[in-house]
Chains A and B, each alone.
Chain A
Amino acid sequence: MIIREITLQNFRQYKNVTLDLRCQEGKNVIIVKGEGGAGKTTFTQAFRWCLYGVTTFRDAELLNKDVADTLILGNSTTVSVTMRISTQAMDYALTRSLVYTMKKTGLKANDSSVIEVREESRDRKVLGKHEAELLIRSLLPKQLAPYFFFDGERMQNMVEELLVGKGEDIGNVVRGMVGFSSLESLLRHLKKSRNTTVLKKIEKEIDNCGSAEFGKLSKQIEDDTSKIEDTLEKIDAIENKLERARKEERNLELELSTYQDVEALQQQWEENKNRKEEYERQKEHKQKMYMKNFQSEFSRFTMIPMMMKCKGILREDDLSDKGVPDICNTTLDFLIERDMCLCGKKLSENPDCMAEIKKLYEYVPPKSAGTMIREMIETIETETARKDTFFDNMQEFVDSIDDLSEQADIEEQKNQLIDQNMLKQGDEIKALKQKQLALSDTIKADNMKVKVWSQQLGELRSRNKSNIEEREKLINANAASVRWKRYRAYAEAIYENVLSQYSENEKEQKEIFDGYINEFIYQIYGEEIKIEVSNAYKIKVLNGLELSTSQYYSIVIAFIATTLKMAKERKSSSEGVLDYPEEYPLVMDAPLSAFDKSRIRIICSLLPQIAEQVVIFIKDTDGDLAEQYMYDSIATRYEIVKNFSEGTDSSVKEVR
């Protein structure tokens, strides 16, 4: 499909505007530039509204505001968009219109818009509603419209649609676009297992030719075939489930192996505990030693100041010289008893002498006071000389006890960590093992089911085979069914042939799609983003990394480019079983806003090569770049002019 022209009547800010979009040889780009708010998006939405009757405007009102304001009560007016297009078969004019009427309650639109499709041939035939819808669907399926009537501002939605597990299934649409529709419908119409199919009808005809016994046999074959298919489906489903379960089981084993060996942790715990107990024993011993030392040394230590003082007093008094050597108290007793002093005076007559003798009692032995004092001073000196080592010894004990306490604490902390770790790991391991056990039970049960069903399948197949053989014999013996038997042989052969061509082509086309999209991504993004295309033509990013916006947008552009290229290639293919799809125009609104300059350049050089027709609505700055990069491919340049005095009537002028 090529859009030759589009005309907007009373559509939003356009009262009456026509764009000539015809291309020339080698010049297939139309550029429409406009500042923000001028009406670029309105234009791109007009294409979609014309084809499908939908827009994504926030304000759903389509009628031009000026026109609405001048509408008088009871009068009606029409909003319309006309697209004149060329397809491989015919030229058409598509007009969608919506009537607005001014009522007492205000402006009212009809319930729905109306599409009219007219052949631009000599007889200007107008297509019926159904035909018109079919034509539009065949031109471009609605699901793909966002990619070909492309709104750069809504790129994120397109990304979501394309990713595996998100959005609608666009696989069938893409398969249709690359030419598989006819093969798919033929397979559907031939297939044996469905109720209304060619093969089913033939089987019924064969049955009708036979006897009652024949019909019974056919019924049995039909039932068994249906059971076989059901059983195969069940086995297939459970095999898939088993495969997932086995994979999960392997993952669980792997996960469990990553946990530290509990036995090793337990051994480490014991070693730490033994070390801690040894430190505590040593600490206890040191504490005892400390107490013993304290008890033995403390009294002496506390007496030292007193001894020092005592030594000072004893030295000061110098009592050691006052004693008489070798005289003891018995000598004094003798002198008093004899009543005569050593000097020969009578003691009873000389009280002074008596007093001197009695004073001597203070100094003479039993033990000589002087000796005692000397000995005491010597003892005091010895004891006071030892005072420093007491402190040092006690401090040493204290340090040692502290050190041992610390060591014991460290071992205790190590074990607390191991306890926590073991507790945590224990819970996790327990949970994983429970999961493993449950999984193993499920696998066993499912394996058993597969075994039972396989056995049933074997029995069914064997019975069915012999029934089919029996039936074949009856068919061969029945001349009336020969014709139908021939039809069946051909129908089956065709079914097998189509199925094989479908599988081969689908695989091949998907591989081509896969190759092209990766190639385009590399071309646009400049680096490889390895993606895989699922059977439903959804995109899966293989490295599993979160991609940047610009990478995702490159994927969208690459998807569009791939679909266009494949459709173009199908068109040029002249033979084969695949359909020849239409070519698609590319109408893009702000397509480059998400890209940097270098990528804009790449996209600008890529799009005109792939699409038959490119219509770009673009803001001034990006437009200048696009114009520069696509210079040789531009057929026409337009500029949207916003009428500021009225604000509701934009026009478009050609720029030469």
Chain B
Amino acid sequence: MMNNPESIDQEKLKQILLAMILEERKNNRNEEFTDVQMVDRLLKILEELL
């Protein structure tokens, strides 16, 4: 499934993963955002951290 695995920076990956989990955790507690909004927020995390 994965494309160009050699280009993945593992530290960066870990950073994004934790940021995403925190975002999900926050939303699970507050249910502030819908699924569609959450997808945008996760994508934004990806863009910001890459």
Binding site for B on A (CB under 8 A): 130-131, 134, 138, 181-183, 185-186, 188-190, 192, 196-198, 201-202, 472, 485-494, 496-498, 577, 579
Contact = CB atoms under 8 A, between A and B. Distances in A.
Given A490-B16, A579-B28, 4 more contacts: A182-B28, A485-B4, A489-B7, A577-B17
- Chain B: interface residue count, which band? 20 to 34
Given A182-B25, A579-B25, A492 B3 contact: yes
Contacts of A488: 3
Contacts of B29: 134, 138
A185 B16 contact: no
Given A134-B30, A185-B28, A486-B7, A496 B1 contact: yes
A186 B2 contact: no
A189 B35 contact: yes
B40 to A, nearest CB: 8
A628 B35 CA distance: 53
Given A130-B31, A181-B28, A487-B47, A496 B2 contact: yes
B24 A489 contact: no
B20 A186 contact: yes
Contacts of A579: 25, 28
Nearest to B13: A493
Contacts, number: 86
Contacts of B36: 196
Nearest to B17: A494
B15 to A, nearest CB: 10
A273 B40 CA distance: 88
A445 B12 CA distance: 51
A489 B38 contact: no
B30 A494 contact: no
A494 B25 contact: no
Interface in B1-50: 1-5, 7-8, 12-13, 16-17, 20-21, 24-25, 27-31, 35-36, 38-39, 42-43, 46-47, 50
A162 B1 CA distance: 39
Contact of B39 (A197, A472, A492): A197
A494 B12 CA distance: 11
Contacts of B25: 181-182, 579
Contacts of B17: 494, 497-498, 577
Contacts of B50: 486-487, 490
Contacts of A492: 1-3
Contacts of B28: 138, 181-182, 185, 579
A498 B20 CA distance: 10
A196 B38 CA distance: 10
9 contacts: A134-B30, A182-B28, A189-B24, A189-B42, A198-B46, A486-B7, A489-B2, A494-B20, A496-B1
Nearest to B34: A196
Contacts of A182: 21, 24-25, 28
Contacts of B31: 130, 134
Given A134-B31, A490-B16, A472 B46 contact: no
Contacts of B27: 185
B31 to A, nearest CB: 5
